[in-house]
Amino acid sequence: MTINAGIKSTGWYLMLFAAIGVSAYALSLGFLPAIRNGFVDNMLLTTPSAALLHFLGGGIVLLAGASQFHKGWRTRYPRLHRWLGRVYVGGVLIGGIAGLYLAFFASGGLAARFGFGLLAVLWLVSTALAFRYILKRDIKLHQRWMIRSYAMTLGAVTLRIWLPLFLMLGVPFDQAYPAIAWLAWVPNLIIAEWVFLRSRQ
């Protein structure tokens, strides 16, 4: 294995580990009331159906999406790749629509609501385009839009990095959350576009 391949493999395992952890947490929120905090309890009190669907859809797509980025698995198990892709699209449809609805009730005022709302819309659109291009057998564009889609899926992971970081720095939640509504996913997309630019060069 080359050094570059080793770095890529390590990165994938780190991504998978983070996806499994956040996915397990999201799914547990739906079925284990004992682990919920006040913030989640308030979401479930205000928008119970949308919150549960968002947890469920988000938990599913984190796992289904991470598996799609392992080249060996895609090559060895093409049928599984296609079925997991369908699961991913269905999960984004559920989680994205629910997330868009939840955005109208997000803490942090207009900035947070707009940030999470735009995330939900772009998540749905990028996934729809990835699905459209695979139906057209355009593998290159399918992969690029899937990367963009999963970069936004990983917003669930990066949000849980930014939030404790802000709180550790002493930033109050009501001030941190509007910024995190954007930091959770915009840098992820910028990194994805940077990767595309380097691949062209």
DSSP letter for each residue of 29-52: HHH-GGG--HHHHHHHHHSHHHHH
Full domain range(s) for residue 164: 3-200
Tokens of 93: 């449809």
- Look at the chain and report how many structural domains it folds into: 1
Q: Which of 102, 158, 93, 104 is nearest to 126 (CA)?
A: 93
CA distance 78 to 84: 10
Per residue of the chain (201 residues), give pLDDT as tens: 333 444 466 776 787 788 888 888 777 877 777 777 777 888 888 888 898 899 888 888 988 888 887 777 777 888 888 899 999 999 999 999 999 999 999 988 999 999 999 999 999 999 999 999 999 999 999 999 999 999 999 999 999 899 999 999 999 998 999 999 999 999 999 999 988 887 766
Torsion sign, CA atoms 42, 47, 52, 57: negative
CATH number, domain with residue 83: 1.20.120
Contact 168, 29 (CB under 8 A): no
pTM of the entire predicted model: 0.86
